[in-house]
Amino acid sequence: MRVAVVLVHGLWMRGWEMALLRHRLRERGFACHRFHYASVRRSPAANARALHAYLQTLDAELIHLVGHSLGGIVLLHLFQQQPLQRPGRVLMLATPLVGSVVARRIYAHVLLRPLLGRSVRRGLLGGAPAWGRGRALGMIAGTRGVGSGALLVGGLEDPHDGVVAVSETRSPSVAVHLQVPCSHLGMLYSAPVAEAVCRFLRDGEF
């Protein structure tokens, strides 16, 4: 069976930040693909439509999806718009499922608001689609509180990864949840996180 893994990056990124994770997954036999989208200029819903079109180009019978932060919100929109995707597991890394306190505080400052652009539309401020019941959802959340969010706005609920609080990654729809001692960006470079991603993609558990 032909299997593909698609990595979906977060806000202000281009996907190269996930290169080491992609390399580690490839070393373990996964055919990995990078999906790049305009995280600020386009809404999560618009980016989900582009992701759906991209997935149609892949020659694979099984497609696993891994979304980091805002990338996970794009996946929520994808499955609301097009729930009949090819089989595969869905894993999110530090995705604020009900919105981000850091994003709300940035948005409250008029001069900083353009930094978020259209990512706030049913996205980082909340209002993203709920996860459907068609397939299990996995989540990895970081607990090392070092990052831009903690530095810029502070006041994050403990534990957190410096940008997203662990509580923001929890939902009854998350079937499997794992906490790791990593920062928001650091989890993309962590060997133990890569191992956890592999275990989930293969077995549906950590």
Tally the C-alpha atoms within 13 A of residue 84's C-alpha that lie toward its C-beta: 0
pLDDT of residue 148: 61
**Residues constituting the chain:** 206
Q: How confident is the model at residue 153 (pLDDT cuts 50, 70, 90)?
A: low
pLDDT of residue 90: 98
The mean of the pLDDT values for the chain is 94
Q: What residue ranges define each of the domains in the chain, with the CATH number in brackets?
A: 3-139+184-203 (3.40.50.1820)
Residue (of 112, 184, 108, 111) closest to 141 by Cα position: 184
Q: How far is CA 104 from CA 52, 65, 77, 157, in A?
A: 28, 27, 20, 14
pLDDT in tens, 156-183: 899 999 999 999 999 999 999 999 999 9
Q: How confident is the model at residue 133 (pLDDT cuts 50, 70, 90)?
A: confident
Q: How far is CA 138 from CA 22, 29, 53, 90, 175, in A?
A: 18, 20, 24, 6, 6
Q: How confident is the model at residue 150 (pLDDT cuts 50, 70, 90)?
A: low
Structure tokens at 125: 């401020």
Q: How confident is the model at residue 154 (pLDDT cuts 50, 70, 90)?
A: low
Answer whether 142's CB lies under 8 Å from 181's CB. yes
